[in-house]
Structure 1
Amino acid sequence: MKQKVIVQLVDTLDLGGTERMSVNLANTFQEQGWESHLVVSRQSGGLQNYLNPEVQVHFLEKKSFKDLKAFWRLSKLTRKIKPDYIHAHSTSIYWAVLLKMLVGSFKLIWHDHFGLSDQLEENKRSEMVILSKWIDRFIVVNHKLLDYWQKLLPYRKNSIVYLSNFPYLKLNESIQKLPQFTFLNLANYRPQKDQLTLIESCKILDNEGFDFRVLLVGQQVDSNWETQIKQKISEYSLQEKVRVNGPSEDVTSLLAEVHVGVLSSESEGLPVSLLEYGLAKLPVICTDVGNCAEVLKSGELGQLVKVKDPKLLAEAMKHSINNYEEEVGKAQQLNQYVLEEYGALKFFESYQKLVGAVK
């Protein structure tokens, strides 16, 4: 049987959810016997270190949407590789559609990771109605996106499917926990991730005399938002409690040494960070957004709190500190559930069925 050849398109290899999924997929395709290529439009980043050596990585050094030299490099590369499938992540679909118009000898898959799934009416992206003519299959990361696109494109309903994100980590369980009780917020710095509510909760815990630490770890996406975070930490004199870090190139060690994973987002799809918390057997506190309740079985496998409610989030944090063994028990169950329902092999089997149905 001829080896399948797949090319993924992604903007960067910075430490974001979309980028992590592109790396997870590249590794999984390669491990399952496909010829796996990852084309990075703009720049590399810390996630390049997580790619299997057998994955073939290409950089376009794209400067703007109208960068004709970069697009020519992509076109030339596509003609050389002759892929069966091109899998475009998020906004990479625009160049992928242009490529399909010019080359057209591959099946085009669009992977929509749109994180503001609770604000779809304010972000319609109606141009996709026209572009959908050249897209063979649509993958969405939560049910709200699925409903949205199936209503907007009713004639393509059977081509639009929900496939959950999946984590891909090789954990080192010999690493010791930090001496202070530590919460990890693994999320890029932008308003959607709402770290400010988490800081408000930290103020409540600090005022009540709790001994804890919070690590904020992520890529600077919105510099103004990161500035607001630092100002709020300073205003509340939490510099000894809350640390603002850049992206980590050793997420596996970070996950192993903290005690609880926290997400305080106001909107999500299916956050890869949540699945990584589960894979790392971390107790979880998460806002009830996107598909988070589905992953946590409506609170059975972790604590769910309302969006923008620092008091409830603080109560959940206090519960984790005071009832840690109970939460560790939930984390063990979450780990098993993530492995069974959100594992790489399950995704690949579903993916094979999806692309195999393309005529």
Structure 2
Amino acid sequence: MCGQPDAPLVAHLIYRLDFGGLENLLVERINRMPAHAYRHAVVCLLDHTDFAKRISKPDVQLYALHKQSGLSLATHAALFKLLRRLRPAILHTYNLAAMEYAPAALLAGVPARINGMHGREATDPEGRNRKHNLLRRLMLPFYDCCYANSGAMLSWSRDVIGVPEHKSALLANGIDAERFRPRADAEARPDFGFGPGCRVIGSVGRVQDVKDHATLVEAFALLRARAPQQAANLRLAIVGDGPLLPNLREQVRSLGLEGLVWLPGARSDVAEILRGLDMYVISSIAEGTPGSVLEAMASNLPVVGTRVGGVPEVVAEGVTGQLVSPRDPQAMAEALARYVDDPILAAAHGAAGRARVLTHYSMPAMVAGYQALYDSLCQRKTPFRKSIESCVE
């Protein structure tokens, strides 16, 4: 039998458990990883929202440290005490926000420590902030592995931060291609209140600086002005909550787009919503491997994306979508216009996108990759796991 009755605990340290691509894939891995292999706890530096209800696996522990702004040494102490009590085999931290807590884990006796680089901050989209990069370098000795979820991020971590090859790995995102699928012929299409006959451009993601939805809204306004004949049937849907949602609603109002742009906030029916779109856009200024783009591709949608981070690795330009420079609403409008003008091209790119997801970004492969990393570290660093038999097939 693979695994142990008393499976090792993985403590996932995340800034906040809320609607987002990183958070969604974290929950998917927890739900899908075999229960006999690992137990899981999610520790939030801030807090969590109702998004936590998406964790369907029983007995997943959830904690909130309510970190104050700044250094907040009390948060380091609180994490130390929590880890001493939980005794996890692995601390898995996510992105820069959680990276500095590895020393507390080491002092608490956590045998293995992993940091995942899933993207960069809006204030430093290209990873040039000297203080941030100094922190990353200072933390390297405390980690056994610093993986990335895109080839671009992996190269940057090795070349700029100096992550040694034996401590680095590429763990690509995966998508549930059964849940995210094309709309069946007999399946009703959601209209989002727009009515029949509309062509809907969509985007899904937390409404925050790094996603730069303001550029998307501006591009939509430019697209309507460029194509007045089609403008009557063009609509925009931006799904997600976040600190900039009020600003985005004000931008829509100021551009005279009320009634043409749907801003519902966070939704739990994203797969169904994607089946109601005609094309997908990601306007981010920084990304790892964007799970939302993979979900859109799995749903047969052509993609217009910004040429940042791991987006060009996912979107094959001229095959599954088009790439434009970030913060360039004119270029984004022109790319969208190509799909508006040529529905056959849009359909061809959408079908090629789903085929690419099925070939390169499967959910079982993603889960197996993370489990293999956990297994290798437990074999190496946790005495009671020396004889573990890998569950990965």
Paired residues of 2:46 and 2:66 also in contact (CA < 8 A) = yes
Cα deviations across residues 296-329 of structure 1 (Å, max 9, x unaligned)?
Answer: 2233112222323333322322232333343223
Deviating more after overlay: 8-17 vs 309-318: 309-318
208, 219, 222: which is aligned to 1:201? 219
In the alignment, structure 1 segments of 5+ residues that lack a partner are none
| Paired residue type of 1:176 | R
The separation in 1 between residues aligned to 2:350 and 2:104, in whole angstroms, is 45
The separation in 2 between residues aligned to 1:355 and 1:152, in whole angstroms, is 26
Question: In structure 2, do the counterparts of structure 1 residues 49 and 326 end up closer, same or farther at CA, with 3 Å as the change threshold?
Answer: farther
211, 216, 238: which is aligned to 2:238? 216
| Paired residue type of 1:190 | Q
Deviation of 1:219 after TM superposition, in Å, equals: 2.5
Deviation of 1:43 after TM superposition, in Å, equals: 1.9
Question: In structure 2, do the counterparts of structure 1 residues 187 and 60 end up closer, same or farther at CA, with 3 Å as the change threshold?
Answer: closer
Residue 176 (structure 1) aligned with residue 189 (structure 2)? yes
Question: In structure 2, do the counterparts of structure 1 residues 243 and 92 end up closer, same or farther at CA, with 3 Å as the change threshold?
Answer: same
Question: In structure 2, do the counterparts of structure 1 residues 7 and 100 end up closer, same or farther at CA, with 3 Å as the change threshold?
Answer: same
Q: Which residue in 2 is equivalent to 1:122?
A: 129
Question: In structure 2, do the counterparts of structure 1 residues 181 and 158 end up closer, same or farther at CA, with 3 Å as the change threshold?
Answer: same
| TM-align CA RMSD | 2.8
11, 15, 23: which is aligned to 1:11? 15
The separation in 1 between residues aligned to 2:163 and 2:115, in whole angstroms, is 17
The aligned runs of 1:223-238 (5 Å cut-off) are 226-227=246-247, 229-238=248-257
Deviation of 1:80 after TM superposition, in Å, equals: 4.6
Deviation of 1:186 after TM superposition, in Å, equals: 1.3
Q: Which residue in 2 is equivalent to 1:88?
A: 93
In the alignment, structure 2 segments of 5+ residues that lack a partner are 381-393
Paired residues of 1:46 and 1:249 also in contact (CA < 8 A) = no
Paired residues of 1:24 and 1:168 also in contact (CA < 8 A) = no
Q: Which residue in 1 is equivalent to 2:33?
A: 29
The aligned runs of 1:225-264 (5 Å cut-off) are 226-227=246-247, 229-264=248-283
Paired residues of 2:157 and 2:163 also in contact (CA < 8 A) = no
Residue 166 (structure 1) aligned with residue 144 (structure 2)? no
Paired residues of 1:23 and 1:47 also in contact (CA < 8 A) = no
Number of aligned residues: 354
Paired residues of 1:86 and 1:109 also in contact (CA < 8 A) = yes
The aligned runs of 1:125-136 (5 Å cut-off) are 125-136=133-144
Q: Which residue in 2 is equivalent to 1:66?
A: 72
92, 95, 111: which is aligned to 1:106? 111
Percent of aligned pairs with the same residue?
21
The separation in 2 between residues aligned to 1:50 and 1:248, in whole angstroms, is 12
Paired residues of 2:83 and 2:110 also in contact (CA < 8 A) = no
Paired residues of 1:28 and 1:344 also in contact (CA < 8 A) = no
The separation in 1 between residues aligned to 2:86 and 2:129, in whole angstroms, is 39
Q: Which residue in 2 is equivalent to 1:48?
A: 52
| Paired residue type of 1:114 | G
The separation in 1 between residues aligned to 2:106 and 2:165, in whole angstroms, is 21
Paired residues of 1:118 and 1:267 also in contact (CA < 8 A) = yes
Secondary structure of 2:236 counterpart:
strand
Deviation of 1:138 after TM superposition, in Å, equals: 0.5
287, 302, 310: which is aligned to 2:321? 302
The separation in 2 between residues aligned to 1:32 and 1:256, in whole angstroms, is 35
Question: In structure 2, do the counterparts of structure 1 residues 52 and 96 end up closer, same or farther at CA, with 3 Å as the change threshold?
Answer: farther
Residue 344 (structure 1) aligned with residue 363 (structure 2)? yes
Paired residues of 1:8 and 1:86 also in contact (CA < 8 A) = yes
What TM-score, normalized by structure 1, do the two folds share? 0.87
Secondary structure of 2:46 counterpart:
strand
